[in-house]
Amino acid sequence: EPEVTQTPSHQVTQMGQEVILRCVPISNHLYFYWYRQILGQKVEFLVSFYNNEISEKSEIFDDQFSVERPDGSNFTLKIRSTKLEDSAMYFCASSDLPGPEQYFGPGTRLTVT
């Protein structure tokens, strides 16, 4: 069964450093998403991406964040200058149609020290 994959599974970084989280969506999917979940909190939407551009973003997704589809398979989330409060689980998701039938990857746990 096709699945969304994410690397790395755990990333530790120092405050102020840049991180790139990587995702490989399901191959025939066209819509891509990033969500985050701070420990003990709810899953929160960050951004959706379609046809090589951002289609929607939340207020969390400020200028420190960017997304890119650098090639035909990867979808990345970059945080330019990490803060302590960026520590969270980051989930990538994809879907073949716009809307709620989204498939989630296993997540990257980001720890900012």
Partner 1 sequence: RKEVEQDPGPFNVPEGATVAFNCTYSNSASQSFFWYRQDCRKEPKLLMSVYSSGNEDGRFTAQLNRASQYISLLIRDSKLSDSATYLCVVSSGNTPLVFGKGTRLSVIA
Q: Which residues bind partner 1 (CB under 8 A)?
A: 33, 35, 41-45, 48, 56, 58, 89, 91, 98-107, 109
Q: Buried b vs exposed e over 34-60: b needs ≥16 C-beta within 10 Å?
A: bbbeeeeeeebebbbbeeeeeeebeeb
Q: Tell me how far, at minimum, the Cβ of 82 lies from partner 1, in Å.
A: 20
Residue 15 or 43 having the CB closest to partner 1: 43
Q: Collapsing DSSP states into helix, strand and coil, what is residue 42? A: coil
Q: Tell me how far, at minimum, the Cβ of 16 lies from partner 1, in Å.
A: 26
Q: Tell me how far, at minimum, the Cβ of 110 lies from partner 1, in Å.
A: 13
Asked if residue 100 has a cis previous peptide bond (ω within 30° of 0), the answer is no
